[in-house]
């Protein structure tokens, strides 16, 4: 059953939310959806062109609600994340949301033949960026009265699957980072930390992973936004340290969500 959530238009008013991988796919849908519900969004992504196009799109209807920050996680180093956090610290009193969404798919191949370059690139983009960004932004998140961190997972990051190589393994790492941060922040802050498996979603990554699939059979990124919106809402305050899924999402039964 599809999760439905009718959120008021001002649900995220006065909230500042960062989204990585915001130039395309699910991250781009999050950016538009959060702004439509009153948030100010800070958008990170690799492609400057995509971010500028999205900036123009959002700015035309919601002036002053979007900041873009092109950043290639493959080559970014700790100092880049610290500099970003310091710059945001000058502009915002706190950070209310952080969506770790950027990822690379890489090769699908048996481990025996898995390309070393893909392994290193995926660790850097899918895992190291989430570590550096979380580390740099925890002080700003803890300043919020009710902050959320969402790590983007996958079914192959919860049960290992042949030929998914570094992609699946980086998602296992992301689940570990989520659990560790959730445990650390549980009693010392109001930051709620969860992972979310969006499930098959009609994006470029899905097309690359399943080239023979008819995209029309796969849910759009917009159609899964009610779950993201709910997780950012005050109602989701009791969800913490959970490995959640869009498919069958049911917040009244966290183990099913
Ligand atoms: P897309 O490929 O459509 O988008 C991925 C985003 O990540 C893009 O905006 C891209 O930036 C960004 N990105 C990639 N490499 C880098 C980098 N080196 N530095 C900074 N940003 C980078 O993927 P989806 O929207 O499908 O995926 C979003 C998340 O959902 C991912 O974590 C994915 O693993 C997960 N997921 C997706 C599923 C699906 O079926 N689509 C299923 C399960 C999980 P840019 O566009 O600027 O190049």
- pLDDT score for 2: 87
- pLDDT score for 93: 96
Residues 91-111 pLDDT 10s: 999 999 999 999 999 999 999
- pLDDT score for 254: 60
Tokens of 217: 């059979």
Name residue 150's beta-bridge partners. 99, 194
- pLDDT score for 253: 73
The position carrying tokens 């950012």 is 232
Cα 187 to averaged position of ligand 1 atoms, centre (Å): 32
Ligand 1 mutation pick, 46, 81, 207, max ligand atoms within 8 A of CB: 46
Catalytic residue among 5, 81, 114, 167: 167
Say if CB 219 and CB 200 are below 8 A apart. yes
pTM of the model: 0.98
Ligand 1 mutation pick, 177, 202, 203, 205, max ligand atoms within 8 A of CB: 205
Name residue 97's beta-bridge partners. 17, 148
23 lines ligand 1 (CB under 6 A): yes
- pLDDT score for 257: 60
| DSSP state for residue 73 in the 8-state scheme | T
Cα 25 to averaged position of ligand 1 atoms, centre (Å): 7
Question: Is-catalytic flag, 228?
Answer: no
Under DSSP, is residue 246 helix (H, G, I), strand (E, B) or coil? Answer: coil
**What's the rounded mean pLDDT across residues 65-73?**
98
Say if CB 57 and CB 51 are below 8 A apart. no
- pLDDT score for 252: 82
Q: How many residues are there in the chain?
A: 257
Dist CA 221 CA 191 (whole Å): 25
168 lines ligand 1 (CB under 6 A): no
Q: In which band, very low, low, confident or very high, does the pLDDT at 127 lie, cut at 50, 70 and 90?
A: very high
**What's the rounded mean pLDDT across residues 246-254?**
87
Cα 203 to averaged position of ligand 1 atoms, centre (Å): 8
Residues 129-163 pLDDT 10s: 999 999 999 999 999 999 999 999 999 999 999 99
Write the residue with the smallest CA distance to atom 25 of ligand 1.
Answer: 25
Given a cut of 90, whether residue 206 has pLDDT beyond it is yes
Dist CA 107 CA 209 (whole Å): 9
Cα 126 to averaged position of ligand 1 atoms, centre (Å): 9
Ligand 1 mutation pick, 33, 198, 244, max ligand atoms within 8 A of CB: 198
222 lines ligand 1 (CB under 6 A): no
Q: In which band, very low, low, confident or very high, does the pLDDT at 255 lie, cut at 50, 70 and 90?
A: low
Q: What are the structural domains, with CATH classification, of the chain?
A: 16-199+225-245 (3.40.50.720)
Residues 2-49 pLDDT 10s: 899 999 999 999 999 999 999 999 999 999 999 999 999 999 999 999
């Amino acid at each position: 059953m599809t999760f439905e959530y009718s959120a008021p238009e001002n649900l995220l008013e006065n909230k500042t939310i960062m989204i990585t991988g915001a130039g395309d796919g699910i991250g781009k849908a999050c950016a538009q959806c959060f702004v439509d519900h009153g948030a100010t969004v800070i958008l990170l992504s690799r492609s400057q062109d995509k971010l500028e196009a999205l900036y123009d799109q959002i700015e035309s209807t919601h002036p002053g609600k979007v900041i873009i920050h092109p950043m290639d996680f493959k080559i970014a180093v700790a100092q880049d994340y610290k500099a970003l956090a310091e710059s945001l610290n000058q502009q915002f009193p706190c950070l209310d949301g952080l969506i770790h969404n950027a990822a690379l798919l890489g090769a699908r191949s048996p481990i025996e033949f898995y390309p070393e370059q893909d392994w290193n690139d995926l660790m850097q983009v899918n895992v190291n960026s989430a570590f550096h960004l979380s580390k740099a932004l925890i002080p700003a998140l803890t300043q919020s009265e009710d902050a959320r961190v969402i790590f983007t997972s996958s079914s192959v990051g919860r049960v290992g699957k042949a030929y998914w190589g570094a992609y699946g393994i980086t998602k296992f790492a992301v689940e570990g980072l989520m659990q560790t941060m959730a445990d650390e922040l549980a009693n010392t802050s109001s930051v709620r930390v969860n992972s979310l498996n969006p499930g098959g979603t009609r994006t470029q990554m899905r097309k690359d992973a399943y080239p023979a699939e008819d995209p029309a059979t796969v849910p759009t990124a917009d159609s899964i936004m009610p779950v993201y919106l709910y997780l950012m809402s005050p109602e989701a305050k009791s969800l913490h340290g959970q490995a959640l899924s869009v498919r069958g999402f049911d917040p009244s039964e966290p183990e099913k969500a």
